[in-house]
């Protein structure tokens, strides 16, 4: 470059810097967003779920390629990305736009953008009805605010959480990850139960079921119902020495009886 052209280039560069000093400074100092453990969010601070527990949560929920997974408060996207690697379609709901952008980059780096998406949204304004599996790492108070909506989801929907409970709604399964996991190492699974509370007609007898989440008590004719439990649409209960196992389908329950007189049964309401 000749001296004349070099001088002209220097004058032009100086003029551009003087015309856009703020932009030049931002370009020089701007760094990629890096999440910080404990950073404030809308409802909770961000603490990442250990990858070992992410894997355990998805295992407990039996996630397959046929499932649609929703992660509430998806943070850096690791749970959504892990579900997508199993072949599932997965979406993360995250209020922080910087975390959403980071998650999208992480999904791109993992090669799962066709199955992993992220929405910059409020989890309390999100339609959960399409989910087969919902994952979350939220405070108990947030879990409780979500609980009424969760209990109205399709029976059989699997809810799996890191560490925190849903108060008196007992988890169907609890597992702890050992080994390298030192904190936030407990996974809890709930399966949304069908709604069966009330009176049913079973042959010439009346079946009365009293439901508290997935637990059932009640009576059949003059005999007590014991050991009653729901797992989604699947129902079991015992009357005397007879064990009833069946499936709830709206206003009908059909199944088989082991013990007693055996055979099959149908209950309707």
**Residue-wise pLDDT tens digits, 158-179:** 999 999 999 999 999 999 999 8
pLDDT score for 43: 66
Tens of pLDDT, residue by residue over 73-120, are 999 999 999 999 999 999 999 999 999 999 999 999 999 999 999 999
Compute the C-alpha angle 79/164/152, nearest 5°: 80
Is the pLDDT at 22 greater than 90, yes or no? no
pLDDT score for 27: 46
Alpha-carbon span 93 to 246, nearest angstrom: 36
pLDDT score for 33: 79
Beta carbons within 10 angstroms of residue 50's beta carbon? 18
Residue 151 DSSP SS3: helix
Would you give the end-to-end CA distance of the chain in angstroms?
91
Beta carbons within 10 angstroms of residue 250's beta carbon? 10
Alpha-carbon span 65 to 69, nearest angstrom: 10
Q: State pTM to two decimals.
A: 0.85
DSSP label at residue 125 = G
Alpha-carbon span 116 to 84, nearest angstrom: 6
pLDDT score for 31: 77
* Per-chain mean pLDDT for the chain: 89
**Annotated domain spans of the chain:** 51-191, 198-268
pLDDT score for 50: 95
Q: Is the distance from CB of 163 to CB of 137 less than 8 angstroms?
A: yes
Is the pLDDT at 14 greater than 90, yes or no? no
pLDDT score for 39: 61
- Quickly state the pLDDT bin for 232 (edges 50, 70, 90): very high
Q: What is the CATH number that goes with domain 51-191?
A: 3.40.50.150
Tens of pLDDT, residue by residue over 195-225, are 999 999 999 999 999 999 999 999 999 999 9
- By mean pLDDT, which of 2-11, 98-107, 235-244 is the weakest? 2-11
Residue 228 vs residue 29, higher pLDDT: 228
pLDDT score for 18: 47
Tens of pLDDT, residue by residue over 54-76, are 999 999 999 999 999 999 999 99
Query: Can you tell me the mean pLDDT for 20-48?
Result: 64
């Amino acid at each position: 470059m000749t001296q004349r052209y070099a001088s002209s280039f220097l004058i032009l560069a100086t003029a551009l810097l003087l015309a856009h000093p703020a932009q030049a400074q931002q370009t020089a100092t701007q760094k990629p967003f890096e999440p910080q453990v404990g950073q404030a969010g809308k409802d909770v601070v961000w603490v990442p779920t250990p990858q070992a527990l992410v894997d355990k949560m998805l295992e407990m929920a039996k996630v397959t390629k046929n499932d649609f997974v929703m992660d509430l408060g998806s943070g850096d996207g690791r749970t959504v990305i892990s579900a997508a690697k199993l072949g599932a379609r997965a979406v993360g709901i995250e209020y922080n736009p910087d975390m959403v952008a980071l998650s999208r980059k992480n999904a791109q780096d993992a090669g799962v953008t066709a199955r992993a998406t992220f929405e910059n949204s409020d989890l309390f304004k999100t339609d959960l009805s399409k989910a087969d599996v919902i994952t979350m790492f939220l405070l108990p108070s947030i879990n409780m605010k979500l609980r009424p909506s969760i209990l109205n989801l399709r029976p059989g929907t699997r809810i799996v959480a890191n560490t925190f409970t849903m108060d008196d709604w007992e988890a169907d399964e609890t597992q702890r990850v050992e080994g390298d996991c030192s904190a936030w190492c407990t996974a809890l699974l709930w399966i949304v139960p069908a709604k069966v509370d009330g009176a049913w007609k079973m042959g010439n007898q009346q079946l009365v079921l009293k439901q508290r989440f997935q637990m059932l008590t009640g009576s059949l004719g003059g005999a007590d119902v014991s050991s009653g439990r729901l797992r989604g649409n699947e129902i079991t209960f015992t009357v005397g020495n007879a064990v009833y196992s069946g499936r709830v389908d709206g206003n009908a329950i059909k199944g088989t009886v082991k013990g007693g007189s055996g055979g099959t049964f149908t209950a309707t309401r």
